[in-house]
C-alpha cells in the first residue's frame, strides 16, 4: 500500500493541469495517503522543493489556467547522476511514488525514473495533443477554443479589408491544433507537417480563391514549418491578395480551462491514484475509445503517435 505520493507538472504548461493536481491531491487525502506538491517539475525534484498538501492547498484552483506548482524545462534530468540525486530527495521525504503531469519530455523523465525503480504514473498534459496512444491530452480543448476565438476575430478584420490572413499556431510536430481549428473556422487552407508543406500549392490555391472573387482568405499553419512573415510577402506578391501574418504564440497556452479539460483532468487524476494504490507504476493514463486506461509508459513511448488522417481528409473535402 502506497503511503506517500508526489505530484509534479513539467514542460509547457497546459490549462487543466491545476484540475489534475487537485484531483490527485484530493483522491490521496480521501484515502489517507500523504501527498506532496513538487515545485518546478523535475528541477524541484532535484532540489527537494516539496510542499506537503492538505485539502486547503488545492482550494479554488480547478478553474485556473497554468499550474500552481509551476513548471520548468530541465534537460539536465537526462543525466543519470542528476536523477540519482532526485531519487535520494524522494527517499529523504518518504515519497514512494510520483504522478508526472506533462508532455513528451515529461513522459521520458517518468520513464527513466520508472526504470530506476520509482513508481511513476504519467498524465498527458499538453496543448499539442501529441502523446502517443491517447485520443486527447489535457489542455488541447482549451487551446483549441482560444485559437477558434482568434480565428473568428481575424476573419472579421480579414473580410473588412479583403485580405489574406495567415495564422501560425502551436503544436510542435503535431498538426492537431491547426486542423481542428481550421475545420471549426472554415478556413481556406490548413498547413501542417502531416499534410506537408508545398509553397507552390499554397500560392496556387490562394490565386484560385482570389480569381473566384473571394473577398478574403484565411490560412492556419502549425509552428516550425516556415517563416510565416516571409510566406505572407510571397503570397501578397504572387496572388494579388494583400496579406498579413500573425503568430498566436503563448496566448494559446494560458487561460481558464474549458469544462471538458477540467473533467478530463479530474478523472485522469483520480485514475492515476487508483493505479498507484494497486501498486501499478510505470504507466500512463490514456483515453482509448473514450475510456481511461493505464498503459505501459515504456511501450507507449516506443511507438510513434498515430495520426488520425481521417480528420485531415475531411478538412480537404469541406474546403
Query: Among all residues, which ones are annotated catalytic?
Result: 128
Specify the residue, 103 or 175, whose C-beta has the smaller distance to ligand F6P.
103
Question: Which residue from 18, 67, 89, 126 is in contact with ligand F6P, where contact means CB under 6 A?
Answer: 126
What's the min distance (Å) between Cβ of 140 and ligand F6P? 10
Nearer to ligand F6P, 12 or 175 (CB): 12
| 222, three cell numbers | 502549425
Contact 191, 178 (CB under 8 A): yes
Considering only residues 186-215, where is the footprint of ligand F6P by CB under 6 A?
none
CB of 103 to ligand F6P, least distance (A): 5
Q: Which residue has the cell 485580405?
A: 163
Cβ count within 10 A of residue 267: 16
CB of 142 to ligand F6P, least distance (A): 12
Give the nearest distance from C-beta 262 to ligand F6P in angstroms. 19
65 binds ligand F6P (CB under 6 A): no
12 makes contact with ligand F6P (CB under 6 A): yes
Q: Given CA atoms 31, 33, 38, 41 in this order, what sign does their dihedral have?
A: negative
What's the Cα-to-Cα distance from 75 to each of 41, 110, 119, 154, 173, rounded to whole Å? 11, 13, 21, 37, 19
Sign, CA torsion 179/181/184/189: negative
| Binding of residue 112 to ligand F6P (CB under 6 A) | no
- Does 175 engage in binding with ligand F6P (CB under 6 A)? no
Distances (CA, A) of 209 to 48, 188, 189, 191, 258: 58, 8, 10, 16, 35
170 touches ligand F6P by CB under 6 A: yes
Please, what's the largest Cα pairwise distance for the chain?
70
**Which CB sits closer to ligand F6P, 172 or 305?**
172
Binding mask 270-299 for ligand F6P (x = CB under 6 A): ------------------------------
- Determine if 125 is a binding residue for ligand F6P (CB under 6 A): no
Assigned C-alpha cell, 127: 496543448
* Contact residues for 241 (Cβ-Cβ < 8 A; gap 6+): 162, 163, 164, 206, 209, 210, 217, 235
**91 three-state secondary structure:** helix
Q: Is 127 in the site for ligand F6P (CB under 6 A)?
A: yes
Total residues contacting ligand F6P by CB under 6 A comes to: 12
Closest CA to 85 of 115, 47, 120: 47
Residue entry with cell 498538501: 53
Q: If DSSP codes are grouped into helix, strand and coil, which group holds residue 171?
A: coil
User: Smaller CB distance to ligand F6P: residue 25 or 110?
Assistant: 110
Least separation in angstroms between residue 60's CB and ligand F6P is 25
Cβ proximity to ligand F6P: between 190 and 217 the closer is 190
3-state secondary structure of 281: coil
Question: Shortest approach of ligand F6P to residue 172 CB, angstroms?
Answer: 4
Please give the residue ranges that form the binding site for ligand F6P (CB under 6 A): 11-12, 73, 103, 126-128, 170-172, 223, 253
Amino acid at each position: 500500500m502506497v503511503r506517500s505520493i508526489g505530484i509534479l507538472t513539467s514542460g509547457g504548461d497546459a490549462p487543466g493541469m491545476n484540475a489534475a493536481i487537485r484531483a490527485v491531491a484530493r483522491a490521496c487525502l480521501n484515502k489517507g495517503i500523504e501527498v506532496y506538491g513538487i515545485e518546478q517539475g523535475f528541477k524541484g525534484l532535484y532540489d527537494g522543493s516539496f510542499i506537503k498538501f492538505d485539502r486547503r492547498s488545492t482550494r479554488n484552483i480547478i478553474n485556473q489556467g497554468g499550474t500552481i506548482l509551476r513548471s520548468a524545462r530541465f534537460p539536465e534530468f537526462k543525466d543519470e547522476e542528476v536523477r540519482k540525486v532526485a531519487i535520494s530527495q524522494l527517499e529523504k521525504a518518504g515519497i514512494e511514488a510520483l504522478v508526472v503531469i506533462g508532455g513528451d519530455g515529461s513522459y521520458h523523465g517518468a520513464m527513466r525514473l520508472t526504470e530506476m525503480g520509482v513508481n511513476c504514473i504519467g498524465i498527458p498534459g499538453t496543448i499539442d495533443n501529441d502523446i502517443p496512444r491517447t485520443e486527447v491530452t489535457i489542455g488541447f480543448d482549451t487551446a483549441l477554443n482560444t485559437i477558434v476565438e482568434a480565428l473568428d476575430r481575424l476573419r472579421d478584420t480579414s473580410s473588412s479589408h479583403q485580405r489574406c490572413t495567415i495564422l501560425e499556431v502551436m503544436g510542435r510536430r503535431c498538426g492537431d491544433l491547426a486542423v481542428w481549428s481550421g475545420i471549426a473556422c472554415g478556413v481556406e487552407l490548413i498547413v501542417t507537417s502531416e499534410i506537408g508543406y508545398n509553397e507552390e500549392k499554397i500560392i496556387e490555391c490562394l490565386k484560385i480563391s482570389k480569381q473566384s472573387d473571394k473577398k478574403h482568405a484565411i490560412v492556419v499553419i502549425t509552428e516550425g514549418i516556415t517563416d510565416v512573415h516571409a510566406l505572407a510577402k510571397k503570397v501578397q506578391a504572387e496572388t494579388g491578395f494583400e496579406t498579413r501574418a500573425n503568430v498566436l504564440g503563448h496566448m494559446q497556452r494560458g487561460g481558464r480551462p474549458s469544462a471538458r479539460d477540467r473533467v478530463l483532468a479530474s478523472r485522469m487524476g483520480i485514475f492515476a491514484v487508483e493505479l498507484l494504490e494497486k501498486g501499478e507504476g510505470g504507466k500512463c493514463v490514456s483515453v482509448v475509445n473514450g475510456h481511461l486506461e493505464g498503459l505501459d509508459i515504456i511501450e507507449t513511448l516506443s511507438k510513434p503517435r498515430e495520426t488520425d488522417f481521417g480528420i485531415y481528409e475531411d478538412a480537404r473535402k469541406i474546403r
